[in-house]
Chain A
């Protein structure tokens, strides 16, 4: 394979006569996919800690029955903003950050297709994030009707509700631009010889995710625009008194919302599918079926949305259709899990930190998939909808799913990004504390939900006290252990043992043919893929 001249690691490879500015202007005006990737990742890390701090406050209030620290209205702000910021501020930008760093490197391209658009899609985020956080300080406080923003409750709030709509609009524009950039890059800028079916799975998952984003972000934009006009301009889209229908909002929202959850998991599938073969030293099992599984999950994700609405009382036919479709989606999901296990089978396995996170992902995500299957059955869902069981379900798929895959990816690629090895010992400590604390926090929530504890409540009946206390203790540990993650990342960025081009002997994607960190314009001459 043709490796380019890669001795210039500092980023002053003067091909286009850029006078790359220094300091803050370098970041503000950057059009470089690696700089922008880093910006996305740092932004998401900040938001992860911000929303995580809100979660600590939530768990503090729920440690015991009774109201201790927060009035119910404030508590509702905490849960709403925790959810909204984690989804739009932490998970999604982190995955786009991975796409920025890794897609050009893995397909042998010099940069993203639209570098200036790339800059703009990132810099919208801090604006939107600032607006969102600022709502805590406006009269009436932040939004408190749940991240799902259901009317008519959403009609009742103050100015924060309008600011948040604006913020989500900006986030959506950013996502759409990012997605278009990713699609164009992948379809046009692959190295010679890299056919679609030779692309690394991570690239495939992001290609499909980007199509999902382009398809559903505008739907969200419509829904919240209608909310905005209902709130401010006298329309009645969701107001029965004016001929509207509040349930229509839920349909439109979840038509976005269900694909959205797959937007957060598919790239994570890609990360894990890259890491498992590396540390099993064996090719990914069933590459082709993996691609088809991801594609069919994406397609099916458009016809399952109303499984979030079984208790609204839709007609029998509707309930049955969405139940069958939801059950169906677990088939491709299962295939992926089987393929991962087969990838491990008869490998030559080592357990570095990225591998540990990926293995935990496989196990814990599967548990989340199981609770999803349980919730797919309409009668059982009617019992469990809007309880802590659902909270357990989505944390198994989103924290031990998306977030832990993101951590796996960070450990895996940090040596490439920084040129230094991270501290392996600390990484393993971080892993074990995270995995154990995660389960202490969220496993008991299955029991709470089954026993009948509703979600989104600041106070609860006495029978729920024990498991809540356990969950809170686990939660504090989980929160605290992420400070270790921050420390490890900063330490690695500032120095450490040199990583060399390819620190992982089982890794075979293109980025490992470049120096660490890679040169400013990544692949100046495209490598030839056999």
Chain B
């Protein structure tokens, strides 16, 4: 299968057959009004060839529908105005007409057949993930994304960064409210990026409207998709598959940079990984752990167990005064590391570093009604990892 060639994304309708061109020409006068993206009446401005083709396919089918609408509803309007009892119209007696019925079966079939070609061509190219320049593994978690640059040993979590106070209306909402993250996915412009997607818990869907990419991330299975963005910039989207309590708060942000900048970014990330490895084995003070732990707790735990640790009765257990958070330390670490299947309690061992887990366990054991005074070090966590 060959990779279809994409012209400049804004070049327009690459696949119109000439019949359809005529239709377009007829309706072109009206088109700009609906096609203006800044009124947000239409699909967002495409950033990839695929998104552009989707945009054009949608415009095409929309105009076909409008044309059929006019053809059908003009006679209906006439009948409703003229063929009224109140204006003295007598009812005719006819009740079928084979010729008419054949015509209005065959014409729609022909219209649909004319749609098949552009639609099929586009599906084929969307499915073609071959010859990619770069592969990134995307893993969905309740409720964040993990990006892993395969072969480069770069791996990080991408959390929503909209402050809770904005959501609760205690602070004015920022420009990118709900569409901002702490660490965006960074990709090079002009390169074909292949994503392989899976999930750690429930089904999520990775979606960036301007790319024309939406792909479910399914636990236990790998799916792939691709995109190629020419214009550097920041592109925003959201999780599109209901995935639990914070489904609406699971943004996707992609930063497209020039290939040179991308290489520099990669070096930077590798340096960070090396630095973190050097820090392993260090021991921490209570205050340090509590500070880190509070951040980790807010980002990962508070959605269910609540900021005040009381949980939601019946759905999510309280941590304040709980048996696990005040009992044996090893049991507490295990719960955080391994989760509790099949509940919403995830196995955080896969998502968080030893330091993060040590910090959050320490935090939970000393916050609220829990005054155990226990201090958990990263090495304790590392020891309990299987």
Residues in chain A within 8 A of chain B (CB atoms): 65-68, 72-73, 76, 138-141, 144-146, 150, 152-153, 155-158, 231, 239-241, 245-247, 280-289, 311-313, 316, 319-320, 323-324, 327-328, 330-331, 334-335, 337-338, 341-342, 344-350, 359, 362-363, 366-367, 370, 373-374, 377-380, 382-383, 385-387, 447, 450-452, 454, 456-463, 467
Residue from A68, A247, A363 in contact with B221 in the complex, judged by beta carbons closer than 8 Å? A247
Chain B residues positioned under 8 Å from A383 (CB to CB): 43, 51, 54, 58, 209, 212, 214
Known: A289-B96, A447-B40. 9 other contacts (CB 8 A): A152-B342, A157-B315, A283-B93, A327-B115, A337-B72, A348-B90, A379-B119, A380-B57, A387-B240
Chain B 114-146 near chain A by CB (<8 Å), digits 1 or 0: 011001101110110000000000000000000
What residues of A have a CB within 8 angstroms of the CB of B271 in the complex? none
Cβ contacts under 8 Å, B169 to chain A: 66-68
In whole Å, how far is A65's beta carbon from the nearest beta carbon of chain B? 6
Asked whether any CB of chain A lies closer than 8 Å to the CB of B354, the reply is no
A379 cross-chain contacts in B, Cβ below 8 A: 50, 53-54, 57, 119, 122-123, 126, 212
A245 with B83: CB separation less than 8 A = no
A320 and B93 alpha carbons, distance in the complex (Å): 44
A311: contacting residue among B51, B119, B215, CB under 8 A? B215
CA distance A287 to B209 in the complex (A): 45
In the complex formed, the residue of B with least CB distance to A309 is B216
Shortest Cβ distance from residue B211 to the other chain A in the assembled complex, whole angstroms: 10
Report B-chain residues with C-beta under 8 Å of the C-beta of A320: 120, 123
| Nearest CB of chain B from residue A114's CB, rounded to whole Å | 35
* B296 at the A interface (CB under 8 A): no
Q: Which range holds the interface residue count of chain B? A: 35 or more
Q: Are A285 and B73 in contact (CB under 8 A)?
A: no
Most buried by B among A280, A289, A344, A377: A377
Query: Does B219 lie within 8 Å of A346, measured CB to CB?
Result: no
B361 in contact (CB, < 8 A): no
Contact residues of B between 149 and 186, Cβ < 8 Å to A: 166-169, 173, 175-179
B168 close to A285 (CB less than 8 A):
no
Can you show 15 pairs from A to B with CB atoms below 8 A apart? A72-B249, A150-B203, A153-B244, A239-B220, A247-B221, A280-B91, A286-B95, A324-B116, A331-B108, A345-B92, A346-B79, A382-B126, A447-B42, A459-B167, A461-B177
On whether the beta carbons of B123 and A319 are closer than 8 Å, the reply is yes
Known contacts A350-B84, A454-B239: does B73 contact A363 (CB below 8 Å)? yes
B residues less than 8 Å from A363 (CB atoms): 73, 76
Partner of A374, one of B41, B62, B101, B126: B62
Report how far A330 CA is from B115 CA in the complex, Å.
13
B32 part of interface (Cβ distance < 8 Å): no
Q: Considering the complex of A and B, which 5 residue pairs feature the smallest CB-CB distances, nearest first? A: A240-B220, A139-B314, A457-B248, A140-B314, A313-B223
A447 contacts B240, CB within 8 Å? no
CB-CB under 8 A from A347, the residues of chain B are 79, 83, 89, 91-92
- A residues less than 8 Å from B62 (CB atoms): 374
Q: Does B329 contact A (CB under 8 A)?
A: no
Q: A386: which B residues are within 8 A, CB to CB?
A: 205, 214, 240-242
> In this complex, which of B44, B51, B127 has the most chain A Cβ atoms within 10 angstroms of its Cβ?
B127
Contacts of B225 in A (CB 8 A): 313
Chain A proximity mask over B219-240: 1 for CB below 8 Å, otherwise 0: 1110111000000000001111
State the Cβ distance, B189 to closest chain A Cβ, in Å. Answer: 22
Contact in complex: B215, A67 (CB < 8 Å) = no
CB distance from A311 to the nearest CB of B (A): 5
A350, B105: Cα distance in complex, Å: 29
Asked if residues A366 and B177 are in contact (CB atoms below 8 Å), the reply is no
Residues of A within 8 A of B224 (CB): 313
**Residue picked from B57, B80, B216, most chain A C-beta under 10 Å:** B216
CA distance A320 to B79 in the complex (A): 40
For the residues of B in contact with A, the DSSP-based class is mixed
- Please name all residues of chain A whose beta carbon is closer than 8 Å to the beta carbon of B65 when the two chains form the complex: 370, 373-374
In the complex, chain B residues whose CB is within 8 Å of the CB of A337: 72
Are B90 and A335 closer than 8 Å at their CB atoms? no
Q: Are A285 and B85 in contact (CB under 8 A)?
A: no
The reply to whether A330 and B173 contact each other, CB–CB distance below 8 Å, is: no
The answer to whether A72 and B245 have CB atoms under 8 Å apart is yes
Residues of A within 8 A of B279 (CB): none
Question: CA of A212 to CA of B297 in the docked complex: distance in angstroms?
Answer: 50
With A311-B215, A316-B127, A451-B40 already in contact, the answer to whether A282 and B312 are too (CB < 8 A) is no
Q: B7 at the A/B interface (Cβ < 8 Å)?
A: no
Chain B residues lying within 8 Å of A241, measured Cβ to Cβ, are 219-220, 341
B343 in the interface (beta carbon within 8 A): yes
Q: Are A286 and B96 in contact (CB under 8 A)?
A: yes
Residues of B near A240 (CB, < 8 A) are 218-221
Residues of A within 8 A of B246 (CB): 72
Q: Is B367 an interface residue (CB 8 A)?
A: no
A458 in contact with B248 given A286-B96, A312-B218 (CB within 8 Å)? yes
Q: CB of B313 within 8 A of chain A?
A: yes
- A280, B344: Cα distance in complex, Å: 58
B75 within 8 A of A: yes
A258 to B43, CA, bound (A): 27
CA distance A322 to B216 in the complex (A): 18
B201 touches A (CB below 8 Å):
yes
The answer to whether the Cβ of B112 comes within 8 Å of any Cβ in the partner chain is yes
Check if A454 sits within 8 Å of B248, measured CB to CB: yes
CB of B128 to closest CB in A, whole Å: 9
Q: Which of B112, B119, B205, B214 contacts A328 (CB 8 A)?
A: B112
Chain B residue with minimal CB distance to A331? B108
The answer to whether B245 and A335 have CB atoms under 8 Å apart is no
B30 at the interface (CB under 8 A from A): no
Pair A287/B95 contact, Cβ less than 8 Å: yes
A450 touches B215 (CB 8 A): no
CA separation between A456 and B204, bound complex, in Å? 13
CA–CA, A378 and B125, complex, Å? 12
B240 adjacent to A385 (CB under 8 Å) = yes
* Chain A residues whose CB sits within 8 angstroms of the CB of B57 once the complex forms: 377, 379-380
CA distance A72 to B97 in the complex (A): 56
Q: How far is the CA of A387 from the CA of B239 in the complex (A)?
A: 11
Q: Is B383 an interface residue (CB 8 A)?
A: no
For A286, give the chain B residue with the smallest CB separation.
Answer: B96
Q: Is the CB of A289 within 8 A of B101?
A: yes
Counting CB contacts under 8 A, is B86 at the interface?
yes
Q: Which residue of B lies closest to A380 (CB)?
A: B58
Output the nearest chain A residue to B127 by Cβ-Cβ distance: A316
- Give the distance in Å from the alpha carbon of A370 to the alpha carbon of B61 in the complex: 9
Per the bound structure, the CA–CA distance linking A191 and B177 in Å amounts to 66
Q: Among the interface residues B43, B100, B169, which one has the most CB atoms of the partner chain A within 10 A? A: B43
Cα A140 to Cα B341 with chains together (Å):
17
A138 touches B314 (CB 8 A): yes
Min CB gap A188→B, angstroms = 28
In the bound complex, CA of A102 to CA of B357 (Å):
66
A378: shortest Cβ distance to chain B, in Å?
5
For A280, the chain B residues whose CB sits under 8 A away are 83, 91
Which residue of the partner chain A has the closest CB to B43? A450
Closest to B222 in A: A313
> In whole angstroms, what is the CA distance A327 to B112 when docked?
7
Knowing A347-B83, A348-B90, the reply to whether A246 touches B43 (Cβ < 8 A) is no
With a CB–CB cut-off of 8 A, which chain B residues contact A350? 84-86
- Give every chain B residue within 8 A of A457 (Cβ-Cβ): 238, 247-248
Report the bound CA distance from A378 to B202 in whole Å.
24
Most buried by B among A144, A231, A347, A359: A347
A331 touches B112 (CB 8 A): yes
Whether A334 contacts B343 by the Cβ 8 Å rule is no
